[in-house]
Structure 1
Amino acid sequence: MRASNKPGAIQNRVHPLCRIAGISASHHKKRSKAGATGPAPNADLLAVVDAHGVIRHEFTTDGPNKVWLRDISEHPTREGKLYICAIKDVYSNKIVGYSIDSRMKSSLAAAAMRNAIALRSPVGTICHSDRVGQFRAKKVQRLLANNGMVGSMGRAYGAGDNASMESFFSLLQKNVLNTRRWDSREELRLAMVTWIETKYNRRRRQRALGKLTPVEFEMIYTAADAA
């Protein structure tokens, strides 16, 4: 039987996904005053220098939960902007955590981290991002330290320093954000959650993964690792 595409049916399917991921559309009135600390300017653990002295980044690893990438994007609705912080596992390109909110504060980044940590139980994972205040905030740094993870940050406004994560947001923009004008934040939030959970992670085949989906690619690794 074909699943219904009516808004009510989609919302009924997506709300359980939101609860599982711990995601809600928050509308806080006060901005966070969390201090921004974070790694020193040279703490870019993914940067390599080629034979010509040019800094580039290697987004490769030999297993899941070795390297995660983080970034934040925004999109307007008739009610105002909506922000999403997403975390991607470099090994499988799977989105392993995200948070959606009406304010771009450090709590947005912290919530995405908590979701990913709860789902993946990482150990020694490198978490790479651009050098923005949300990821440098003390509460986010404490999350890394308390869970045995290591922070890594590219240069401020360094082009290509987080290119792999930016490619995900380009897909999100093409497949969801720019497909229509959004009346409300909730409408856009549900659309993003639906696309990430039911399409990007589980149905979108990627050439870099041998034409497998991120979920399929990780299942093969898990089966081989258990053999």
Structure 2
Amino acid sequence: MCDVLKVSRAGFYRWLQGPQGPRQQANETLLSFLLARAQALGGIPGYRKLWLEASAAGYVCSKNRVQRLLQGAGYRSSVACRPGYRKLKPGMPVLPNLLNRAFSVAAPNRVWVSDITQIRCEEGWLYIAIILDLYSRQIVGWSAGGVNQAALVMAALRQAWGERKPQGEQLLFHSDQGSQYRSEEVMAWLTRRGVTLSMSRRGNCWDNACAESFFALLKKEWTHRLGVLSRAEMTAEVRYYAEEYYPILRRHGTLGGLTPRAFEATTA
């Protein structure tokens, strides 16, 4: 099981061989449950999801305790961000992380986050750029194409700006340090509109976790089951997910069980 979950044997057995007081016994029982659930779920869930699994099973424990136990056993989600750095491509200077993981926002059009992913298609990669409003997790703009350049981001930005019509001086736009976002075209376009720019720290995907999370859901819930399609077919599927299923039908725990569209309607 240690090999399957990429858990260090030393860490796991250190837990099993420690003093067997009541607290240690409770920790051992909880850890055994957590690792068993992680194995049953393919090693995918992180400590937050495993804490939910434990709570649903009747265990009384905090997220910090679950995290501490899993770290002590050397468990790491198979989809967790791995440390590592990529050489930056040429572009405008990197900007500081002003968002600083403040993912709870009090009003719409105050913080937009953006990211790019890729999906394999018959002709090659399809690149997808999205812009997500942190207030409601609504996708306010997106674009898809066969080339991963600044034009991809610009298409998503123009769509978002046209539909939402935000007050630029009240808006923070956060992205990673990709050359598309550091392009003169993108940065100048946003700056002219008074938008404040923010970028994740290098190699730290958690700084843009909400955008990353959307792409994880898109792939897990939708595109993985479709197989390899043409770019046109995959673009149509992404359009349905981003514009209909995700905002109108999919409920979010962070929004009190409402869909993004319904959540925004409560403040209209």
Note whether the superposition's TM-score is higher than 0.5. yes
Secondary structure in structure 1 of the residue aligned to 2:128: strand
2:212 equivalent to 1:157 = no
Aligned residue number for residue 46 of structure 1: 99
From the superposition, tell whether residues 215 and 38 of structure 1 become closer, same or farther in structure 2 (CA, over 3 Å): farther
Asked if 2 retains the 8 angstrom alpha-carbon contact of 1:205 and 1:213, the reply is yes
Asked if 2 retains the 8 angstrom alpha-carbon contact of 1:79 and 1:185, the reply is yes
Aligned positions of 1:136-155 closer than 5 A: 136-155=182-201
Asked if 2 retains the 8 angstrom alpha-carbon contact of 1:39 and 1:151, the reply is no
Q: Which has the higher strand share?
A: 1
Identity %: 36
Aligned residue number for residue 200 of structure 1: 246
Q: Partners of 1:210 and 1:158 in 2: how far apart?
A: 28
State TM-score, norm by structure 1: 0.75
Aligned residue number for residue 78 of structure 1: 122
Runs of 4+ in 1 over 4 A off after TM superposition: none
Aligned residue number for residue 91 of structure 1: 135
Aligned residue number for residue 68 of structure 1: 112
Q: Partners of 1:203 and 1:140 in 2: how far apart?
A: 32
Q: Which has the higher contact order (CA 8 A, sep 6+)?
A: 1
- Bigger-Rg structure (1/2): 2
Asked if 2 retains the 8 angstrom alpha-carbon contact of 1:86 and 1:112, the reply is yes
Instruction: Give 1:161 shift.
Output: 1.1
Unaligned ranges ≥5, structure 1? 1-34, 48-56, 223-227
- TM-superposition CA deviations, 1:134-167 (whole Å, max 9, x none): 0110110112112221110011211311111111
Asked if 2 retains the 8 angstrom alpha-carbon contact of 1:122 and 1:147, the reply is no
Asked if 2 retains the 8 angstrom alpha-carbon contact of 1:73 and 1:169, the reply is yes
Secondary structure in structure 2 of the residue aligned to 1:136: coil
- Residue identity matched to 2:92: T
Q: Partners of 2:120 and 2:250 in 1: how far apart?
A: 25
What's the RMSD between the two structures over aligned residues? 1.4
Unaligned ranges ≥5, structure 2? 1-89
Q: Partners of 1:38 and 1:172 in 2: how far apart?
A: 31
Aligned length: 178
Q: Which has the higher helix share?
A: 2
Q: Partners of 1:114 and 1:138 in 2: how far apart?
A: 16
Instruction: Give 1:38 shift.
Output: 4.6
State TM-score, norm by structure 2: 0.64
Aligned residue number for residue 210 of structure 1: 256
Secondary structure in structure 2 of the residue aligned to 1:99: strand
From the superposition, tell whether residues 120 and 38 of structure 1 become closer, same or farther in structure 2 (CA, over 3 Å): farther
Aligned residue number for residue 92 of structure 2: 37
Aligned residue number for residue 165 of structure 2: 121
Q: Partners of 2:132 and 2:229 in 1: how far apart?
A: 28
